[in-house]
Amino acid sequence: MEGWIGRTLSKVQIERPLGRGGMAEVYVGRHTTLNRPVAVKLLHAHLQEDADLKRRFIAEAQAVASLRHPNIVQVFDFDIVSGRPYIVMELLQGMSLAQYLAGLHASGLTLPLSTIAHLVDGIASALDYAHERGIVHRDIKPANIMLRQGTTPINPALPLLPDVQPVLTDFGVARLTTATTQTATGTVLGTPAYMSPEQIRGVGIDARSDIYSLGIVLYEMLAGDPPFNHDTTPAAVLVKHLQEKPPPVPQARPAVQRLMDRALAKDPNKRYPQAGLLAQDLRAAGGDTQAASRLLDSRQDTGVSRLGRIALFGLGGLLLLAVVVGGLAFGLRGQTPAAPAATSGPTEALAELPIDEPTASPETSTDPIVANPTPVPVDEPIGSAVFREGSLTAQLPGAPQPPAGFAYHVWLVSPLGQVQSLGPAQFSGNQLTFSYQGEGVLAAQAGQLLFSLEPDPDPNPDAAGDVVFQGAFDPEVAADLQLLFDVAGQTPLAQAVPQGLSRQVVHFDSHLNLILSSIDGGSLPSAKLHAEHVINISDGRDGLDYGDWNDDGRTENPGDDVGLVPYLRLLRTMLESSPASDPDQAEELISQLDELLAIANDTLDLATRVAAADGVAEVQPLRADLDSHHLGERVEAFLAQIEPIDLVLAVPIFLAP
C-alpha cells in the first residue's frame, strides 16, 4: 500500500493507509483545495483487468454519489488513475459496529434496547432512502455500519452517547434495481452470515433482502451473535439461511420475537416492506420502560448498569429511567459524579423496587412521587428549550416531580465537550420550568442540554448526578450555527441571520448576472469563474461543493463564509421554532422559504454544470434557467414579511436513554 503514499489523485494527496477490503485499499488523504481529510478507496491492482469488477466498483461510486443522507457515507468524487478506479469519500471518525460489538461482548456486556432502537432507526432511515431511489445495498452487516462519534471518542467499555450516529458504508456490491446487468450465474455477492435466502439463490433481489440482513444485525445486537454461527463453514451457514428458522432471541419479549420472525421470514412477501416499519415496531416493543427492562435478562450486566444505578420511579405505571452517565458527558472535565445523598437515598432505594408495581418514595410513603400519572413515551419530547440570544428558557410539562430531597439541575455541553452548570430548574404548576440569562450567542455554545437529578441541597454542585432528560440541535443546524458564530461573532441570531442572508443574496444575484453576460459574450473562462463564485456564495465554506472549480489555484468566494443555503436553512429552523399567532400564515411562510431553498439548490446544480463544461455551446442551453433563478427581490420581500416575528431556536427535550 505504501506505493501510493504522497501521490496526488485529482485534488487529493494520499497521506497514509487506512485498511484493506475484499475489493479495495483504503487511504486517508487530504483534499488540497478544500483542506479537509477524506477517505480514498482504490481498486486492488490484481483486480484491475476484471471488467466486471471495475463496473461494480464504478457502479458503487455512481450510486452512492447520488445519495445525500446523514446515515449514508458521502461520496465526493470518483475517477480512474493508471487503470485503477478510485472514489473519494467522507472520512468518518469513530469505529465500526462490528468493532464496537466485539469489544462490548469481550467485556461481557450487551447493548440496552434504547441504544439498539436508536441505531436501527438511523440504519432503517438510510435504507428506506436508498430503496426509494432504486438502490439495494446487498451487504448489510456490522462491519459496514460505522458509528460516527459525537462529542467524545467511542469506547466499547462504555455505553454509546446519544449523539453517536450509525452510517452505512461500502455499497461495493450494490445494484440499481432497474439495472439490466445481472449477477453472473453462480456468483454470490454478500457476507454469508447476513445474506437473505433469495440473495443466496441469486434471484428476486430487492429492498426486502436488505431488511432481512438488517434483521440479522438486530438479532446480533440483541443476542450477542448472529442466529447462524460463524463456527460452521460458509456453505453450512448459507444452507441454514435457506432451510432453518433462526433460534429464538434469548429472553426476548413476545413483541420482540414477533418482529424478529417477520424480519427474518424466508418468504420476502412475509417480511417488512420497509425498514422504517421494522424500526417503528422495535420502538413500540420497548415503548415503556417496563418492557425495556424485561427485554433481556442479560441487560442486568450492560455497560449502563455497570456505570450506575437505573432509577425507576412512578405512579400508575409511569417509570422514569434516570441513567447515571458519570464518565460520559461530565467526565469531559475530569470530574467524578457525586453520589446522591451520601451512600444511599431515594435514587438507590428506588432502583431496588419491583418494576411492575407502582410505588411511592421510601422517605415519603404517603405522598406521590410524580405530579402527573400520565406515562411519558420514551421516543416523544416531554418539552422544549428555547434559545433567545444569551437567554434560555425551558418548559417540560411531561416531567415528573422529583423525589423528596432532590431537584433537577441543568447543564450545557458545548460542541467541544466543555460542560457548564446553568443552575437548578423549578417544579411548579405540574411542570418543570427553567430560565437562564447568559452572555453571547448561547445557542452556538449548546452541543447538548442535559437535566440531571441532584440532592437538594447539593453538597457537590460542580459534579453531575443522574442525567434524566436531554436535548440537542440537529447536527446540520449545529454545524450551521458554529459557522455563523465564526463569521458573525456575538451578533444576535435574530439579526445575524436575516442581515447575513440579505447581504449574501446581493452577491448571489450579481455573479449570476456575470455568468449570463459571459455566456452572451462567448467567454467560457469568465463563465466558469463566476460559476465558481455562485457555487461558493451558495454553499459556504463548509459545503460539499465549495472549492476551486476553475482550477486556477484559488478558491474564490465574494460572499461571506456562511453561504446562502446555510442562511436559508437556519432561517427555516428559526421560523419553525418561533411562536406563531396564525398557524396558516406560519405554514405559508415555511412553504415560501422551501421554494427559496429549492431555487438556491437548483442554481447550485446549474452553476456546477457551467463550471464543469468544456465549451460555450454546452452552457448556452442553461442560460434561460439561470436567468429565472434570481433571488434578490424574492428574499427581500420574504424578509419584510417575517420582520415582526420573534425569531428563536427551539430544542426538543427527551428522556435520556
Residues noted as catalytic:
139
Handedness of CA 588, 592, 593, 595 (dihedral sign): positive
What is the 8-class DSSP label of residue 225?
A: S
Which of the four pLDDT bands, split at 50, 70 and 90, describes residue 317?
very low
Of 44-53, 353-362, 549-558, 571-580, the poorest mean pLDDT is in 353-362
State the average pLDDT for the chain. Answer: 77
253 vs 184, which has greater pLDDT? 253
Rg, Å, the chain Cα set: 27
pLDDT at 551: 85
Task: Return residue ranges of the chain for CATH 3.30.200.20.
Answer: 2-90
Per-residue pLDDT at 461: 79
Query: 433 to each of 270, 445, 577, how far by Cα in Å?
Result: 48, 21, 18
> Please, is 515 exposed, middle or buried when counting C-beta atoms within 10 Å of its C-beta (0-12, 13-18, 19+)?
buried
- Statement: residue 348 has pLDDT above 80: no
Tell me which amino acid residue 36 is.
R
Average pLDDT over residues 331-345: 28
Note the pLDDT of residue 338: 30
Interior angle at CA 203, CA 199 and CA 208, nearest 5: 55
**Higher pLDDT, residue 474 or 22:** 474
Residue 487 near residue 500, CB atoms below 8 Å: yes
Q: How large is the average pLDDT for residues 352-367?
A: 28
Is 386 in a helix, a strand, or coil? Answer: strand
Query: In the CATH scheme, what is the code of domain 2-90?
Result: 3.30.200.20
Domain with CATH 1.10.510.10 in the chain: 94-298
What band does 657 get if pLDDT is binned at 50, 70 and 90? low
Candidate from 117-126, 144-153, 313-322, 374-383 with smallest mean pLDDT: 313-322
**For residue range 37-78, what is the model confidence (pLDDT) as tens digits?**
888 888 766 555 667 666 766 666 677 777 888 899 888 888
Tens digits of residue pLDDT in 133-143 = 888 888 899 98
Of the listed ranges 50-64, 142-156, 359-373, the one predicted with least confidence: 359-373
| pLDDT at 210 exceeding the cut of 50 | yes
Architecture of domain 94-298: Orthogonal Bundle (1.10)
pLDDT at 189 over 70: no
Which residue, chain included where needed, has cell 433469495?
A: 198
Q: According to the model, what pLDDT value does residue 336 have?
A: 27
pLDDT value at 446 more than 50: yes
112 grid coordinates = 440496552
Distance CA 409, CA 456 (A): 10
* pTM (predicted TM-score): 0.48
Calpha distance 72→168 (Å, rounded): 5
Rounded Cα distance, 3 and 406, in Å: 62
How high is the pLDDT of residue 215? 96
Rounded percentage of the chain residues whose pLDDT exceeds 90: 32
Choose among 545, 546, 548, 527: nearest CA to 618.
527
Kind of pairing between the strands at 649-655 and 383-388:
antiparallel
Is the peptide bond prior to 457 cis by the omega test (within 30 degrees of 0)? yes
User: For residues 95 and 360, which has the higher predicted lDDT (pLDDT)?
Assistant: 95
Mean of the pLDDT values across residues 458-486?
83
Give pLDDT tens digits for 405-420: 889 999 988 776 778 8
At residue 357, does pLDDT exceed 80? no
pLDDT average, residue stretch 23-35: 81
pLDDT at 270: 93
What pLDDT sits at residue 529?
Answer: 95
Phi, psi of 632 (to 5 degrees): -55, -55
Res 54: pLDDT: 64
Does 236 score more than 90 pLDDT?
no
Output the pLDDT for position 557: 93
More confident residue, 180 or 23: 23
